[in-house]
Amino acid sequence: MFQSPTRVERWRTKVCRHISADRWENLLAHSASATPFSTQSWLRSWSATFGCRPLYVIASELDGTLLAGIPVLEMPIHRGILREYESLPWGCYGSVIMRNDSSPDCIGAVLTRYLNLVLSPLCLGGTVVDFAGNSSMLSNAATSVGDNFTHVLKLGRPLEEISRDYDYSIKKNLKKAERNSVFVRDANAAREVEAYCDLSDEVAKKYNRPPYSRDFFRNVYELMTPLGHARFTLAFQHERPIAGTLHIISGNHIFNWLTVSNPSFLDLRPVEAIIATMI
């Protein structure tokens, strides 16, 4: 009996420097494994700040439809002669992106293509982040394998049900924030992004860590917020910013990334107020 070729038999893999926004957004919109850190605007923010170049390791149908992919940042080293590759740097959450109706074999093919990229003689190394657990095939070639976790809260349910998951102490803290005139809203001007950066610097100083790049946050604000892919949310007391967070957004996913606060105002519970507002 003659059988027409299946979808699995009609795709190919390659590494692309450029992919149109329409094609990439179409993949993200039809993938349960896509996260806010998969967007092109996130990659552009990194590129504009640190000089790295976006790459896409993809599997696609012959007509160009994307079936799976890994967004990668290529970092030139030694005047661009050598390079390193980062998939989802700074502990970002995500996995290999796969179109919902595609074969899981696409993931293996994309990971194999990424491994070939990293094993190039001109490559000093690379990382891949895969919270879905598909990257075990790379472990034999890796010099190190690490475990990490993130908290995922399902919001597709009534607010009353979500609130029932709060224990008494959190509810008490939210009432304390309200009593102390703590209110929350999104930043609507560049100067408020600078206020967020000031808070970030204070946290870095408290824990004796290097500060995060202000230019990175500025680029996120300029490149991502107009597209609805990011927003800076601040907690105020009497118009003074006392805490903040950066929300990274894509589709029906929102990621609470790098929450910061003024140590002198922690007892007012501004962080809890921000999280409650996000929910």
> What pLDDT sits at residue 5?
40
Q: What is the pLDDT of residues 130-171, one digit of tens each?
A: 877 776 767 766 677 777 666 666 777 776 676 666 665 666
Mean pLDDT of 39-64: 93
Q: What is the pLDDT of residues 201-247, one digit of tens each?
A: 998 998 899 999 999 999 999 999 999 999 999 999 988 999 999 99
pLDDT band at residue 252 under the 50/70/90 scheme: confident
> What pLDDT sits at residue 119?
87
* Whether the predicted pLDDT of 6 surpasses 70: no
DSSP 108-126: HHHHHHHHHHHTSTTEEEE
> What pLDDT sits at residue 168?
56
**pTM of the shown model:** 0.84
User: For residue 276, how many other CB atoms are within 10 A of its CB?
Assistant: 19
> What pLDDT sits at residue 2?
35
Closest CA to 236 of 182, 176, 189, 179: 182
> What pLDDT sits at residue 236?
94
- 11 contacts 69 by C-beta, under 8 angstroms: no
> What pLDDT sits at residue 221?
97
> What pLDDT sits at residue 149?
64
Fill in the DSSP letter of residue 158.
-
User: For residue 132, how many other CB atoms are within 10 A of its CB?
Assistant: 13
Higher local confidence (pLDDT), 160 or 254? 254
* Whether the predicted pLDDT of 8 surpasses 60: no
CA distances from 161 to 151, 155, 156, 170, 254 (A): 18, 10, 10, 15, 19
Structure tokens at 8: 């699995």
Taking all residues of the chain, what is their mean pLDDT, rounded to a whole number?
A: 85
CA distance 99 to 105: 12
> What pLDDT sits at residue 233?
96
Mean pLDDT of 59-66: 91
* Whether the predicted pLDDT of 41 surpasses 80: yes
* Whether the predicted pLDDT of 200 surpasses 70: yes
pLDDT band at residue 98 under the 50/70/90 scheme: very high
> What pLDDT sits at residue 1?
39
CA distance 19 to 31: 17
Closest CA to 10 of 52, 61, 47: 61
